[in-house]
């Protein structure tokens, strides 16, 4: 049996395909005209597993210590906040590094987390039982814009930021991996994004035609 990491078990329901029940629930939430799910922020936050709370607390400590700025949830966990849960093994945290030079150095992040008892595993840091990858935008205008427009949220009573749904989808589309498109397809089937807003973002960054080939055909 393929090994599942502890983080994978904790980061959500490991379903893949959208079920008919999920589609029906999405239709109920979205209304007959579609659009963003009609869920209150507190209902949405309940979809994120509470185990992320201690992880986010420690990440916020790095921000207080001015090692990182504006840590923001992206990747598949961001999609899970708005839509159908998908299988994922890690938490992507996008952030800025204060006063960084041309080259991005994640060393201070890793060193401080090691001092706080976290374990480093290649690109990931196991923070309170969750594998976290820190991602700093470098010549990535879409990610920069997604970070600038990130929404403040509270998850497990911990304040953080998260990519807006349309930006989370667009950043996934730009990454252009097979698993990204699989997660996108699951998300948009269960919770429709704001099409006008999403199309504007995709068009701005040259992704609209690719999106239509992959998702809308």
Q: Is the whole model's pTM more than 0.85, yes or no?
A: no
**CA angle at 102 for the pair 98 and 108, rounded to the nearest 5°:** 45
pLDDT digits (tens, 9 = 90+) for 146-200: 999 999 999 989 999 999 999 999 999 999 999 999 999 999 999 999 999 999 9
pLDDT classification of 1: cutoffs 50, 70, 90: very low
- Beta sheet of 130-135, edge-to-edge order: 119-121, 124-127, 130-135, 91-96, 69-74, 158-162, 151-155
Token pair listed for 128: 């309170």
CATH of domain 6-216: 3.30.460
- Strands, E assignment, 9-90: 69-74
Give phi and psi for 22, each to the nearest 5.
-65, -40
Half-sphere exposure of 135 (CA within 13 A, CB side): 20
pLDDT digits (tens, 9 = 90+) for 76-119: 999 999 998 777 879 999 999 987 666 788 899 999 999 999 99
pLDDT at 38: 37
Provide, for the chain, the percentages of residues in helix, strand and coil under a 3-state DSSP scheme, each rounded to the nearest 5. Answer: 45, 15, 35
Strands 151-155 and 91-96: unpaired
Ordered by start, the domain boundaries in the chain are 6-216
Strands 69-74 and 158-162: parallel
Residues near 95 by beta carbon (within 8 Å), at least 6 away in sequence: 63, 68, 69, 70, 71, 72, 134, 135, 136, 147
pLDDT digits (tens, 9 = 90+) for 14-57: 333 333 333 333 333 333 334 444 344 444 444 444 489 999 99
């Amino acid at each position: 049996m393929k090994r599942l990491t502890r983080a994978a078990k904790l980061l959500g329901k490991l379903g893949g395909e959208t079920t008919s029940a999920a589609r029906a629930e999405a239709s109920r939430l979205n209304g007959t005209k579609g659009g963003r799910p009609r869920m209150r922020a507190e209902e949405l936050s309940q979809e994120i597993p509470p185990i992320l709370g201690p992880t986010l607390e420690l990440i916020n400590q790095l921000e207080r210590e001015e090692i990182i700025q504006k840590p923001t949830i992206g990747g598949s966990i961001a999609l899970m906040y708005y839509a159908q849960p998908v299988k994922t093994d890690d938490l992507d945290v996008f952030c800025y590094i204060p006063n960084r030079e041309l080259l991005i150095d994640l060393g201070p992040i890793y060193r401080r987390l090691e001092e706080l008892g976290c374990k480093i595993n290649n690109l990931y840091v196991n923070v309170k039982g969750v594998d976290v990858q820190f991602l700093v935008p470098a010549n990535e205008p879409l990610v920069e814009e997604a970070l600038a427009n990130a929404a403040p949220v509270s998850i497990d009573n911990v304040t953080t930021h998260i990519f807006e749904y349309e930006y989370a989808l667009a950043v996934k589309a730009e990454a252009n991996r097979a698993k990204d498109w699989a997660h996108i397809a699951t998300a948009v089937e269960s919770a429709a994004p704001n099409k006008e807003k999403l199309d504007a973002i995709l068009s701005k960054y040259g992704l609209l035609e690719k999106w239509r080939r992959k998702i809308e055909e």
